[in-house]
Amino acid sequence: MKKNKNFKSDHYRTEMQNLHSAIENNFHDKVSGYYFVELDPTKRETKFGHKREYSWLWALCAMFEATNEIEKIDKNANLVADIYKNMQHYYDPAPPKPGYGEYIVKLSKGQRYYDDNQWIGITGLDIYERTGKKTYFDLGKSMYDFMMTASDTTLGGGLYWRENDFETKNTCSNGPGVLVALKMYKATKKQVYLDNALNIYNWTNDKLQTPTGLFYDNIKIKDKSIGKAIFSYNSGTMLQSNVYLYEITGDKKYLERANKIADSSLAYFYGGEKFRDGYWFNGVLLRGYQHLLKYNKDLKYILGFKKCLDKALKEDKNEKGLFTSKDGAHNLVEHGGMLEILARFAYLEDHYDLGTSK
């Protein structure tokens, strides 16, 4: 249902603005310019002989997407460029293709994860589509080139999870891989991108989709056993892949598949009153719900999500305006995820009647 012109609410916009201020006040280290990984210094990790007090790349991926969504509803926000600049501390030009490492390279060079780079590529290409700035197209192209180094014919195709680790192929590196390839096709109309997107898409459906239409976490190379954890973000990337494929091809089978994933995920993830997994994971599924709304006008997916969001806003927020994760931590990735969720709901409340929020 489209929003009634007389219905006015800025509830989620206000929550978004407050959370963004809280993140900047509590996580952004004004001395180094980096973001802290965790609010509590005693919970910051030590690895490879270095205390890793600053953000992992994953959390900056969350902030990159969240600030992109804020700029969509506030054209004067000007936030994306600073996050992009911050991410360059993680840039690792090592062969076979340049990419971004898991941590600040000069402090503690570590692993390169294909999914982290794909999240950056998805957001970069979205910014390019929104602004036309070539820097972000080049970023997306670079992330595509890096992720394709994860491709081989083992188990019939698919992409590995992280560089030089050949133990599993995961939905979390294949679902977003489909999206990067599809967004490159949209930007260039070069057939190779669509072909590779479909190869990854078909492999993921074949190897990792559950009988109900959701997605398992991974398949092990050694014995083909399935890691059967089911997370919201994996459903989200494959849901949105189907929406993009419907847009690109006009084939209704993709829209039917998107609706099936949406229905199954609504029951599984939002059948109760609380989020089943972390805010950032849920934010990726919300991307799929919001995109699907262009073709399926039923607000039930958004409203089911909203029920859990409103409960989190009521029960999980502390006096600093920050949120406590399931393990009791106050980490940046979950705050970036919640910030994206609130920015998306700020858009939704401007365009649809979502009812009241308590």
Per-residue pLDDT reduced to its tens digit, 111-127? 999 999 999 999 999 99
> Distance (Å, rounded) from C-alpha 128 to C-alpha 84?
13
- Proportion of the chain above pLDDT 70, given as a percent: 94
Give the pLDDT band of residue 2 (cuts 50, 70, 90). low
Give the pLDDT band of residue 162 (cuts 50, 70, 90). very high
**Which pLDDT does position 48 carry in this prediction?**
46
**Which pLDDT does position 191 carry in this prediction?**
98
User: In order of start, what are the domains of the chain with their CATH numbers?
Assistant: 11-351 (1.50.10.20)
Q: Is the pLDDT of residue 167 over 80?
A: yes
Q: Which distant-in-sequence residues (6+ apart) come within 8 Å of 217 by Cβ?
A: 170, 171, 172, 208, 227, 228, 229, 230, 231, 234
Q: Which distant-in-sequence residues (6+ apart) come within 8 Å of 57 by Cβ?
A: 87, 90, 100, 101, 102, 103, 113, 116
DSSP output for 291-321:
HHTTT---THHHHHHHHHHHHHHHHSB-TTS
**Which pLDDT does position 50 carry in this prediction?**
55
> Distance (Å, rounded) from C-alpha 208 to C-alpha 216?
5
**Beta carbons of 217 and 230 less than 8 angstroms apart:** yes
**Which pLDDT does position 315 carry in this prediction?**
94
Torsion of CA 229, 231, 233, 234, to 10 degrees: 40
Instruction: Please state, in angstroms and as integers, the Cα–Cα distance from residue 315 to each residue in 24, 41, 318, following that order.
Output: 22, 24, 8
**Which pLDDT does position 51 carry in this prediction?**
66
Q: Is the pLDDT of residue 143 over 80?
A: yes
**Which pLDDT does position 273 carry in this prediction?**
87
Section 179-186 average pLDDT = 99
**Which pLDDT does position 356 carry in this prediction?**
72
Section 30-45 average pLDDT = 88
Section 271-300 average pLDDT = 97
**Which pLDDT does position 330 carry in this prediction?**
86
Peptide bond into 95 cis (omega under 30): no
- Token look-up 């991974």 returns 218
Q: What is the pLDDT of residues 14-37, one digit of tens each?
A: 999 999 999 999 999 999 999 999
Section 195-222 average pLDDT = 98
Q: Is the pLDDT of residue 295 over 60?
A: yes
Give the pLDDT band of residue 43 (cuts 50, 70, 90). confident
Token couple for 212: 């109900």
Section 42-54 average pLDDT = 69
- Proportion of the chain above pLDDT 90, given as a percent: 89
More confident residue, 346 or 5: 346
Q: Is the pLDDT of residue 227 over 90?
A: yes
Amino acid at 284: V
**Which pLDDT does position 324 carry in this prediction?**
85
**Which pLDDT does position 257 carry in this prediction?**
98
**Beta carbons of 241 and 253 less than 8 angstroms apart:** no
